Structure 1
């Protein structure tokens, strides 16, 4: 793995000294679909509208790519893409690629942080005990404007106009 020079001057301004090179590393994590064929790993990783995956990326500064069989939502489309250039990964089992291009002093810490989060997400949990999925469903309800709080008093986020019987006007915001 190579590195890119980020600066030609060190902390004291001496030319030619690389203060902290930027490294690029990629880690592959296999998804245990063989052991748990009915578990929705892709949905758990992505979350509502991809928000869960984006949060992992924002928190760790690493990119996360879902690759392999089952990574394309439409299975018919996946079959058509399988032999096309750039889609060779569709012939492999489902996996996650974790990529970081960061300064050498933080890259390993950030990758380890991202791996820990993803390992937790890739552990199947009984739905009744799945706190993470409960939060994802709650977030989706908020995004869709269909959240109903369980307490009898109305919270500010709940409105009688946000029920399924009365749709909100779409706005361009």
Structure 2
């Protein structure tokens, strides 16, 4: 599991890690949030309506599901189980609440929390991203403060102050864990 506040770089690191490791399989989440420029349905997320998400949740399709910033996210159970049966290590990029659910269901799960050096750096990254208004950035900072308190529940905590260095650390952790 890789988690961290919005703007911490977790998704960028997640994508780099998947591209560098054949043994790792990507878990594609289902979400009700709007598709961002450059994202592709079925590659980045499965984008669905709220009605479809609710149906899937009631039908027990998700390993975990959470509401995050007025949008819903869920990890499809059947997809994850299929990949693990094929001998793949599944990499999840999910929020701290979802991570807690997965760790409870699968106690041996390795979890890595990505954070920025400071909230000031986080705010700058969110603002520079340009995909959210100031009110949303403020909400994400407020949420990040709560998420940072959960970092102690993770096996590893990495500070993303330099993308290449953080990636090297993350890759080292993954290589260590999958060879044990």
Give the structure-2-normalised TM-score.
0.28
Structure with max Cα Rg: 1
Give the structure-1-normalised TM-score.
0.29
User: Which is helix-richer, 1 or 2?
Assistant: 2
